[in-house]
Amino acid sequence: MNHINLTIEGGVDKDGLPEAVDHIEIASGEIIGIVGPTGSGKSTLIGDLEQFAQGDTSSHRRILINGRPPDQEIRTDPRKKPVAQLSQNMHFLADMTVQEFLLMHAKSRGKDPALAERVISLANTLTGEPVRPDHPLTILSGGQSRALMTADIAVISDSPRVLIDEIENAGIKKQEALNLLSGEGKIVVVVTHDPMLALMTSSRIVMKNGGIIKVIKTSEGEKSVWQELARVDQWLISLRETIRRGEAVGAAL
């Protein structure tokens, strides 16, 4: 399963009232945001998407693949579930090197082992802390780990859908990460409070009291705001790298 379209069929909010949005269509290659205050139901929606809910969760939502309910094995067999997840709290526990991990993953997916080199190269475009093939996984920082997994999901993983839970403080280049994933034809759903991430999505799902209350399509005006935010973000990334290298900030401005 390489490319899929998803449909979210509306359920109910915390009070059992029908959601204001009947259904939402999401196409391959789209970046969709989920926004709302703490406790509004963002994590529940992410859970519904991860489980391919069929009216059997507290929200009573249904998730369809290409207009149809998913096969039961897709819901129950982790090896066949077409979803990958990224979160802020991500660290490796396996006692192996980056190269060994990538070769093992490529082999398990039936992919060309040479892809490991591309994964590492892409990971190093997302983080200012270089990832080397001989690095033990257990010494990678949070930013290195997320950069490596983002590149791995984009290149080696067969999962056509990526759920991202608040990566605004993840220590990676957020814009490049989302563009990398969506550029590979994957559906990217990101929970965020970050204005730049929210405005680089094609639309954002607004949550309140456990329910979807509306979907906002990103306007041309908002895209202009995003361009300004992206420019500032790139400047901050450059400034961060200047400080990391031990250089004077004034020399970089």
What does the domain layout of the chain look like in residue ranges? 1-83+160-218, 90-158, 221-253
Which residues sit opposite 99 in a β-bridge?
none
The residue-averaged pLDDT of 122-133 equals 90
Helix (H, G, I), strand (E, B) or coil at 8: strand
What's the gap between Cα 195 and its chain centre?
A: 16
Q: What is the mean pLDDT of the chain?
A: 87
Other CB atoms within a 10 A radius of the CB of residue 212 amount to 26
The residue-averaged pLDDT of 4-19 equals 94
Q: By C-alpha distance, which of 69, 86, 209 is closest to 150?
A: 86
Q: What confidence score (pLDDT) does residue 118 get?
A: 94
pLDDT bin (cut points 50, 70, 90) of residue 104 is very high
Whether the CB-CB separation of 199 and 226 falls below 8 Å is answered with: yes
Helix (H, G, I), strand (E, B) or coil at 146: helix
DSSP 183-204: HTT-EEEEE---HHHHHTSSEE
pLDDT bin (cut points 50, 70, 90) of residue 61 is very high
Q: What confidence score (pLDDT) does residue 169 get?
A: 56
Torsion of CA 152, 154, 157, 161, to 10 degrees: 130
Q: What confidence score (pLDDT) does residue 13 get?
A: 97
The residue-averaged pLDDT of 217-246 equals 87
The residue-averaged pLDDT of 126-140 equals 90
Q: What confidence score (pLDDT) does residue 177 get?
A: 85
Count the alpha carbons within 13 Å of 251 in the hemisphere toward its beta carbon: 7
126 contacts: CB under 8 Å, gap ≥ 6? 146, 147, 150, 151, 172, 173, 176, 177, 180
For residue range 73-96, what is the model confidence (pLDDT) as tens digits?
888 776 677 777 776 656 666 789
pLDDT of 127 over the 60 cut: yes
pLDDT of 4 over the 80 cut: no
Radius of gyration of the chain (CA): 19
pTM of the entire structure?
0.80
Q: What confidence score (pLDDT) does residue 3 get?
A: 63
Whether the CB-CB separation of 170 and 142 falls below 8 Å is answered with: yes
Q: What confidence score (pLDDT) does residue 98 get?
A: 94
Determine the Cα–Cα distance for residues 20 and 41; give it in Å rounded to an integer: 14
Q: What confidence score (pLDDT) does residue 252 get?
A: 46
Q: What confidence score (pLDDT) does residue 166 get?
A: 66
Q: Which of the residue ranges 131-135, 224-228, 247-251 would you say has the lowest mean pLDDT?
A: 247-251
Hey, what CATH topology would domain 90-158 get? Helicase, Ruva Protein; domain 3 (1.10.8)
pLDDT of 253 over the 50 cut: no
Hey, what CATH topology would domain 1-83+160-218 get? Rossmann fold (3.40.50)
pLDDT bin (cut points 50, 70, 90) of residue 204 is very high
pLDDT of 47 over the 70 cut: yes
The residue-averaged pLDDT of 234-240 equals 82
